[in-house]
Amino acid sequence: MKSYSWFWFFTAIAWILISIKYSLIGFGYLGSWLHYVDLLLQSAIFSSGLPLIYYVGLKFFDDKRLADILGLATIMPIVVAIWLIIQPGGLVLRDLTFFSAKSFLNSGSLIIFNVEVAIIIAILIYDIATWLYRWRQSRDQNALIESLYSIAIITYLVLGSIEQSGLIKNWTVIIFRIMYAAAFLFVYLLITQREIANENYLIEEGNTINGE
């Protein structure tokens, strides 16, 4: 669960940087600091891949050691992607509109991004199917919540991949941003629901013990 939280932590940092980026553009600033903010933004996005890979590895293998190996194997591609981004021409800001300011990644970083996203989505689809099957068999609420955790990530990744591709440039980007916000709210509600369920379980266990 810590790795899941770290993923959303890096995602929150990315959105703070996005807010700073659009604030600078909104005030008409197009200087070097805008590029530095963009570099930090892309670095935060790629860095979020490390805890996410570990999270999906732990869910897929159900083995901490294998998840550790998968996480370590992910470090090098992430470092390479960030290194390519900070090179001259590694990240170019173009297509400024009233609704978006698209930054284009270099081909190497984009390939790494797409490959990692594809692997993560494939594992999460398997994970969702597994937990939904368990929920259908036992009606265990925890199994349903586990599947919803993965659904929230897939929703976010699909939206992010579409926006990263540069296909969304006009007013429709606002709809995507609303969906992003909905994904954050969805995760918050899931975690809150899980905590409430755990608290109720502990209370019931305590009452059972006291009753005995």
Nearest by Cα to 146 from 60, 67, 63 = 60
Name 64's Cβ contacts closer than 8 Å, sequence gap at least 6. 58
Give the Cα separation of 134 and 138 in Å (integer).
6
- What's the pLDDT score for residue 169? 64
- What's the pLDDT score for residue 202? 45
Look up tokens 């109720």; give the residue.
200
- What's the pLDDT score for residue 146? 81
The whole-model pTM stands at 0.77
Give the Cα separation of 69 and 73 in Å (integer).
6
87: left (phi over 0), alpha (psi -120 to 50) or beta: beta
Residue 31, classed as helix, strand or coil, is: coil
Tens digit of each residue's pLDDT, the chain (212 residues): 678 788 888 888 988 888 888 788 777 777 788 889 889 999 998 999 899 999 888 888 888 899 889 889 999 999 999 999 999 888 887 766 655 667 788 999 989 988 988 888 999 999 999 989 988 888 887 788 788 888 888 888 887 777 666 666 666 666 767 776 777 677 667 666 666 655 554 455 445 545 55
The widest CA-to-CA distance across the chain, in whole angstroms, is 71
